[in-house]
């Protein structure tokens, strides 16, 4: 009887050890995907997408981002950093007021962490709009995360691309950077001229105005068309966002993604208050061509009609 009890006890201990070991292994995998301990005081937390296809799903379903954030409570997005910007505190963390540039880039600042990094497939990717570069580090070198965050170009494992490059497609094809890299495969469609962001201003006296913008945005892993209008008021010599009145943008656009079909869209977006915008295209694939015309109307200025092409 004692022998049987002893054997049962041994079996129980062995089962407990196996379950504990397996659980730890699973935990290590999850930790590897989304968190890195940089030192005793610092831990990098970033969103992780298993494949390029998983990442591209966020363009049609933003709830995927929120679900990932909720499962990773310590994640701080770049957008959160921008919205809560404090010049002194953020400067100590390496953040800059200029990072508000990312705020207009749709989902991009929501998926990037405060270091402007996201993991897609087997790559840690940093998008730097200030220098118009995309830096890539294979996740097998994840212990070198700090070099990526600090844009340490002396690290030979860090690959450099341009924000104009279709980075995820190039990585799939084995490219190690922009130099001598060319998109290949069944589709030879060229890429649209990047063009320039266009801003327009119309005034209603000296105290009210609206600002409008159209742009083809390029960020290496994110390409988008946007048209927007924002009401402003002048107080203490500074132009502030104004929630009074209304604003509208009437848009018409024709575009084609590389290797895709031609799309034609038109419509009207009106809002009471501060701003209205429309984003007809967003993807990890570059456009082959585009034409977008916008008519801007607001209580804060005269009508403006403008067109961009590329």
Containing H/E element for 18?
A: helix 2-34
- pLDDT tens across 268-305, in order? 999 998 899 999 999 999 999 999 999 999 999 999 99
**Whole-number pLDDT of residue 182:** 60
Contacts of 13 (CB under 8 A, 6+ apart): none
In a domain, 287, yes or no: yes
Contacts of 222 (CB under 8 A, 6+ apart): 105, 106, 107, 108, 127, 282, 283, 284
**Whole-number pLDDT of residue 34:** 54
**Whole-number pLDDT of residue 183:** 60
Q: What CA–CA distance (Å, rounded) separates 189 from 183?
A: 9
Residue burial 86-112, b: 16+ Cβ < 10 Å; e: rest = eeeebeeeebeeebeebebbbbbbbbb
**Whole-number pLDDT of residue 71:** 73
Q: Is 93 within 8 Å of 125 (Cβ atoms)?
A: no
pTM above 0.85, yes or no: no
The residues with which 295 forms a beta bridge, in sequence order, are: 250, 305
In a domain, 20, yes or no: no
Q: What percent of the chain has pLDDT over 70?
A: 78
In a domain, 225, yes or no: yes
Of 138, 172, 206, the last residue of a domain is 172
In a domain, 192, yes or no: no
CA distances from residue 172 to 50, 70, 122, 241 in whole angstroms, order as listed = 14, 29, 10, 43
Tokens standing for 300? 């804060």
Q: Is 151 within 8 Å of 135 (Cβ atoms)?
A: yes
- Interval 81-110 mean pLDDT: 69
Residues 151 and 250 in one domain: no
**Whole-number pLDDT of residue 90:** 45
Residues 234 and 125 in one domain: no
Provide DSSP, 48-61.
EESSHHHHHGGGT-
Most confident residue range from 37-46, 73-82, 171-180, 271-280? 271-280
pLDDT at 266 over 80: yes
Q: Which domain holds residue 168?
A: 37-172
Residues 126 and 228 in one domain: no
In a domain, 25, yes or no: no
The residues with which 239 forms a beta bridge, in sequence order, are: 234
Of the given ranges (8-12, 106-110, 143-147, 202-206), which has the lowest mean pLDDT? 8-12
- Interval 92-97 mean pLDDT: 50
Residues 151 and 213 in one domain: no
Q: What CA–CA distance (Å, rounded) separates 156 from 145?
A: 13
Residues 209 and 303 in one domain: yes
Q: How many domains does the chain have?
A: 2
**Whole-number pLDDT of residue 27:** 35
Residues 50 and 163 in one domain: yes
Residues 152 and 205 in one domain: no
Of 105, 138, 172, the last residue of a domain is 172
Quickly state the pLDDT bin for 43 (edges 50, 70, 90).
Answer: low
Quickly state the pLDDT bin for 178 (edges 50, 70, 90).
Answer: confident
Quickly state the pLDDT bin for 216 (edges 50, 70, 90).
Answer: very high
């Amino acid at each position: 009887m004692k022998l049987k009890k002893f054997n049962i006890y041994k079996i129980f201990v062995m089962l407990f050890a196996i379950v504990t070991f397996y659980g730890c292994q699973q935990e290590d995998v999850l930790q590897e995907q989304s968190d890195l301990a940089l030192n005793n005081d610092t831990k990098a937390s970033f969103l992780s997408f298993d494949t390029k296809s998983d990442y591209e799903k966020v363009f049609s379903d933003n709830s995927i981002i929120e679900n990932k954030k909720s499962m990773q409570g310590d994640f701080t997005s770049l957008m959160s950093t921008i919205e809560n910007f404090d010049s002194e505190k953020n400067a100590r963390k390496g953040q800059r007021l200029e990072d508000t540039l990312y705020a207009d880039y749709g989902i991009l600042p929501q998926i990037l962490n405060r270091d402007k990094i996201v993991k897609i497939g087997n790559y840690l990717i940093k998008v730097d709009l200030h220098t118009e570069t995309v830096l890539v580090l294979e996740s097998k070198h994840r212990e070198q995360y700090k070099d990526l965050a600090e844009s340490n170009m002396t690290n030979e494992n860090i690959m450099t691309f341009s924000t104009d490059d279709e980075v995820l497609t190039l990585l799939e094809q084995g490219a190690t950077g922009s130099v001598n890299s060319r998109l290949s495969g069944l589709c030879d469609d060229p890429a649209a001229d990047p063009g320039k962001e266009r801003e327009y201003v119309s005034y209603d006296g000296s105290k009210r105005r609206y600002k409008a913008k159209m742009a083809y945005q390029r960020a290496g892993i994110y390409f988008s068309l946007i048209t927007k209008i924002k009401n402003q008021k002048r107080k203490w010599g500074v132009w502030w966002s104004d929630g009074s009145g209304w604003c509208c943008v009437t848009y018409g656009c024709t575009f084609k993604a590389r290797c895709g079909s031609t799309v034609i869209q038109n419509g009207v977006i009106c809002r009471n208050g501060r701003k209205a915008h429309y984003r007809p295209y967003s993807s990890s694939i570059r456009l082959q061509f585009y034409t977008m015309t916008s008519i801007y109307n607001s209580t804060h200025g005269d009508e403006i009609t403008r067109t961009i092409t590329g």
